[in-house]
Structure 1
Amino acid sequence: MNGGQDKRGPHATARGVPATPASELIGRLRRVLRPEDLDCACRETLDGALDRFDRLERRRQARGWLTSARDHKERIAALLSFLSELDSLTEAESDRSVFEEMALLFVEIASSAEAGAASLRAL
């Protein structure tokens, strides 16, 4: 027997998907809850329940990353509406601080875009 470990190894996951904190916890639970003398039907039921929980946890985490990316998209859209004031400015603008404010909007857009991209990559 394999000492109660999942045949894929202690931190491996189904279909080559990266381990999440929840899937690592499930791997540890699997090792503790699967003694060698567990009857086959009970072991299959336990494995099925742990696999379902792992899939649900991965979906929950993926929804969170997608929600985060959408939030960043909305933030960028709002910042772009403020940035549209740039069209009405000229180089002769007397209040030079407005250019710094516009520059900060670009920085915020870049920051939000980077965070949104990171959320999508995490998927």
Structure 2
Amino acid sequence: MRASHEPPAPLPVDGAVAAAIRRVGAIVGGLELDCACRARVDEALARFAALEEARARRERILAARGELARIEGLVGLLAELHEIGAAEPDTSVFAELERLFLDVSDAAARAAAGMREAQTTPTRQEGHAP
């Protein structure tokens, strides 16, 4: 006898994983399982979703760390700015510094986007720990 029960909502923000969990949940939702078995399957899906959320968040953090390392390297190159005066005869140095600042900006924007995504990745659903 099938109990009236909805499959757990997919938790990860990660698109492909969320879609896969939704598909599995839809298939499982159509099966005639007894309540105890359905609860175990739902719990397994929720645990899988939590693991995938943690994986996605870890990837975002690692990517942001990579951007931080890139920024640190660029800041080292930007230290040349301390040695440049207003009378610098080689104006190409200003274009080079501009590109470095733009690279810092791009890296910071990528890191910020990853941190924004990490904020919107739930780490738990009511009743389910990660």
For 2:114 and 2:96, the matched residues in 1 are separated by 27
For 2:14 and 2:36, the matched residues in 1 are separated by 28
The gaps in structure 1 that reach 5 residues or longer are none
1:56 counterpart residue number: 51
1:80 counterpart residue number: 75
TM value normalised by structure 2: 0.78
- Return the letter of the residue paired with 2:65: R
2:14 counterpart residue number: 20
2:38 to 40, 43, 66: 43
Partner secondary structure for residue 33 of structure 2 = coil
Partner secondary structure for residue 89 of structure 2 = coil
Aligned pair count reads: 115
Q: Return the structure number with greater relative CO, CA threshold 8 A, min gap 6.
A: 2
For 2:39 and 2:21, the matched residues in 1 are separated by 15
For 2:77 and 2:13, the matched residues in 1 are separated by 40
The gaps in structure 2 that reach 5 residues or longer are 119-130
Q: 4+ runs of 1 displaced by more than 6 Å?
A: none
Partner secondary structure for residue 104 of structure 2 = helix
TM value normalised by structure 1: 0.82
1:30 to 25, 31, 41: 25
Label 1:72 to 1:49 Cα distance change in 2 as closer, same or farther (>3 A): same
For 1:78 and 1:54, the matched residues in 2 are separated by 36
CA deviation digits over 1:75-107, x for unaligned, max 9?
A: 111100000011001122222111110111111
- Return the letter of the residue paired with 1:23: A
| Offset at residue 48 of structure 1 (A) | 1.1
| Offset at residue 29 of structure 1 (A) | 0.6
1:116 counterpart residue number: 111
